[in-house]
Amino acid sequence: MFDAATFDEKDWAALTPADKEALTTLARTGADFQAVATWPNVGQFNMDSLLAKGLALEGALSIYGRRFKLTDKGRLAVEWLQGRRPRVYQPI
């Protein structure tokens, strides 16, 4: 079975403003992997930060470069950005 993803105040405090902007942009792209080169104000450095914090996954390369999508923990971070504060995400 899947382990539940968690996100708490310590994770929230570790987010930089650039992380928050990248999360917001990534959340708008949907559930599929998307290429970073197509997003304004989000660069590779931002995505490497999200990868290191476990908030994003990297997919296969495309003609536009590296592709990413949110993890369950990343979805929780987006919920916190939107003013909701769930601590546990359990996939169905």
pLDDT at 1: 41
Q: pLDDT 10s digit of each residue in the chain, 92 long?
A: 456 788 888 999 999 999 999 998 888 877 788 888 777 778 888 899 999 999 999 998 888 888 899 998 998 899 899 888 766 655 55
**Count: domains in the chain:** 1
The CATH number that applies at residue 73 is 1.10.10.10
pLDDT at 50: 94
Q: Provide the domain limits for residue 68.
A: 5-89
Supply 77's token pair.
């971070």
Measured between its terminal Cα atoms, the distance across the chain in Å is 10
> What is the rounded CA–CA span in Å between residue 56 and residue 42?
13
pLDDT at 31: 74
